[in-house]
Amino acid sequence: MVGGQRIDSGPRSAIVVGAGIVGLSTAWFLQERGVDVTVVDCAGVAAGASAGTAGWIAPGLALPLNSPGVLRHGLRALRDPTAPLHIPLTADIGRRTFFSQFLSHCQRESWKRALRANVALNEDCIEAFDVLIANGVDAPVTDTPITALFSSTEEADHALWQLRQLEKAGQPTDVTGLSGEALREQVPLVSPAITVGLNVNTQRVIDPRRSVDALGRAVASRGAAMHRLEITDVASSRNGVTVYSRRKVLAADAAVIATGARLSQLAARWVRVPVQAAHGYSFTVPVQRPLPSPIYLPSARAACTPHAGAMRVSGTMEFRHPHSARVPYRVEALVASVTPFLSDVRWSERSDVWVGAHAITPDGRALIGEVSPGIYVAGGHGMWGLTHGPITGRLLAEQITTGKQPEALREFDPLRRTGH
């Protein structure tokens, strides 16, 4: 047993289903509280969205997806398969129900509620990463501004208004405007189509695959059993919880379901808020001029990050089944949406194309907490799973071992109804 003293009234053992950033962070912080942990995942460590994201730890940009602007562009999202946010018209009835709920939450008050909830996680998310790194998780971090780019002052003003809502909700912000030579010095790749930028300062970037792999090794080195299993059911029992697969049955005092976009497959009997898979894409592309720091293109929903002397482009969001295959035209659409804003990029030489599913809730709030005696869920973070993974794990480990829900998790109650 590794870490701090076990809370006597808490569980002695726990099974974490899911080996992404959220599940592994929960496992690590449970170990820190003296709990013996088993981690199971059908595909191994960092096989989901954790490995292919932009790698941003960006509380200054952690805005919920369900903004009123999404509602304004909803018809394009339905009709245009190349739109940055695409909702296929052929969705099954379950996804159509999700879309209906999601669009109903693309209202200012619902968005602001989700934003206020996120502020509680944003407040300590960087410090939670620091705890992991200070205790041996080999995940190098780069402190950096992230520069949002716009083709007009009107677009920049709208984005600035959104960022100011974070400040009104209690989160300090550090944003500076850029134009002219200062903008081109900050972003040498910028094209003439970009006229203004906003530096969101004091953010961080990591290599997501390296970092999640390192967290998995740390959890294993601290004594966790690691299994590659397809879990079919999780149930409370008289003596704790039982986790079932086709090949093995596991038992423990507690279990955590942290399976990302597949969370509903195991948790739907308890959780009434649906979780939908939204596929994102990324690839690496050579550049002819340096990219000193990350850039964000809100109109294209694209993130561009320095990576090994090249540029990693991440973006687009398409609501499909979590196991859907890669759709080539979505990569082409991402390239087409970003190309007008950047110069000296060799788009035809892209490599390391990746697709993965983000876990989206209709009301913009993650699902974190207990759903049945000894059974907990953690997921639905949208695009911000990497940013919020470690702080989610720390807060949930506190709830599991003490039996008390941290104040920061109240808005993420997994047993809520949408709209509550």
- The pLDDT profile of the chain, 420 residues, written as one tens digit per residue, is 344 444 556 899 999 999 999 999 999 999 999 999 999 999 889 877 777 788 999 999 999 988 887 766 655 655 666 666 666 656 566 677 888 888 889 899 999 999 999 999 999 999 999 999 999 999 889 999 999 999 999 999 999 999 999 999 999 999 999 999 999 999 999 999 999 999 999 999 999 999 999 999 999 999 999 999 999 999 998 889 999 999 899 999 999 999 999 999 999 999 999 999 888 889 999 999 999 999 999 988 899 999 989 999 998 777 766 666 657 778 898 999 999 999 999 999 999 998 888 899 999 999 999 999 999 999 999 999 999 999 999 999 999 999 999 999 999 999 998 766
**CATH architecture of the domain covering 13-412:** 3-Layer(bba) Sandwich (3.50)
Written as one letter, the residue type at 155 is E
Q: Which residues on adjacent β-strands are paired with residue 228?
A: 41
Sign of CA dihedral 291, 53, 362, 27: negative
Please state, in angstroms and rounded to a whole number, the distance separating the CA atoms of residues 44 and 53.
17
- Can you give the pLDDT at residue 72? 65
CA 83 from chain centre, in angstroms, equals 21
Q: And the tokens for 52?
A: 């292919």
Taking the complete model, does pTM exceed 0.85, yes or no?
yes
Sign of CA dihedral 89, 90, 92, 95: negative
Please state, in angstroms and rounded to a whole number, the distance separating the CA atoms of residues 304 and 311.
6
- Can you give the pLDDT at residue 49? 73
Please state, in angstroms and rounded to a whole number, the distance separating the CA atoms of residues 133 and 269.
37
Please state, in angstroms and rounded to a whole number, the distance separating the CA atoms of residues 378 and 419.
19
Q: Which residues on adjacent β-strands are paired with residue 356?
A: 280
Q: How many helices (H) and strands (E) does the chain have?
A: 11, 19
Query: Inter-axis angle of helices 108-134 and 385-402, to 10 degrees?
Result: 80
